[in-house]
Structure 1
Amino acid sequence: MPIKCFEDIIAWKKAQDIAVVVYNEFKNNNDWDFRNQICRASVSISNNIAEGFDRGTKPEFKRFLYISLASNSELRSMLYLALRLDYIDETSFKNLLLQSEEVARIISGLIKSITSNP
């Protein structure tokens, strides 16, 4: 079944879920610069999936999926820092890391499917 809109993309849905968790997890963090950066990285994942899909071409979609993947990596890096700074507990860290890894696998699979189906 072909994807008709970005809201149908599983990676987009799961990336939105991550952003909600990140916003809730860090909403009371007083380090504004850190909070802003981690929230922006989390939102960027789903936004780039949406923007790339609506560009309407496979090369553009693929390019934005790579950007989304990079934002996801930024989020993971920030999560490690958050743990080291005691901004997040071990359980929340592990849960977000697992979600992020799942999204990365899905995005990578989507990139491969675009690449193998020109």
Structure 2
Amino acid sequence: MHRFKDLEIWRLSRNFCSDIYETTSSFPESERFGLTNQLRRASVSVPSNIAEGCSRKSNRDFSRFLEIAMGSMYEIETQLLISNDLNFIQTKKLNSLLQKLDSIIKMTSKFKSTLK
């Protein structure tokens, strides 16, 4: 078992979740149950799945939870791009978020490859 609080990917994804909450707070009220909710739920899912995976007894099980977290990351990427298409976030903010997300994706992928 791993200690999730010691994992850099967990810390970064938790901070990224806060970035998503801050970003979506300026979305239109009409999106409260749309993109705002989707982005927030997906962003919470990432560190949550990393933490849950840490509780598993085998690396194979942990790896599966990392796959789920990565799926949420790609979901976030798509939703951020759509949010930009709809002018809910500026391109500069989008690029900053995508850069952070890309870093978390790469770190998670690399970490996952060490669990084999």
Q: TM-score range by the shorter chain?
A: over 0.9
Structure 2 residue ranges without an equivalent (≥5): none
Computed over aligned residues only, the root mean square deviation of the Cα atoms, in angstroms, reads 1.1
Partner in structure 2 of residue 37 of structure 1? 38
Counterpart CA distance in 1 for 2:57 and 2:97 is: 31
Alignment-mate amino acid for residue 22 of structure 1 = I
Aligned residues: 113
Residue aligning to 2:11:
13
- AA at the equivalent of 2:78: S
- Residue aligned with 1:114, SS: coil
2:23 corresponds to? 25
Aligned to 1:84: 85
Distance 1:112 1:72 in 2: 17
1:15-72: CA deviations, max 9, x gaps? 0111000001111321112100011111111110000011222111000000001000
SS at match of 1:86: coil
Amino acid at match of 1:69: M
- Name the TM-score, length of structure 1 as normaliser: 0.91
Moved over 4 A (4+): none
User: Any residues of structure 2 matched to 1:99-114 within 5 Å, and which?
Assistant: 99-114=100-115
**What percentage of aligned pairs have identical amino acids?**
27
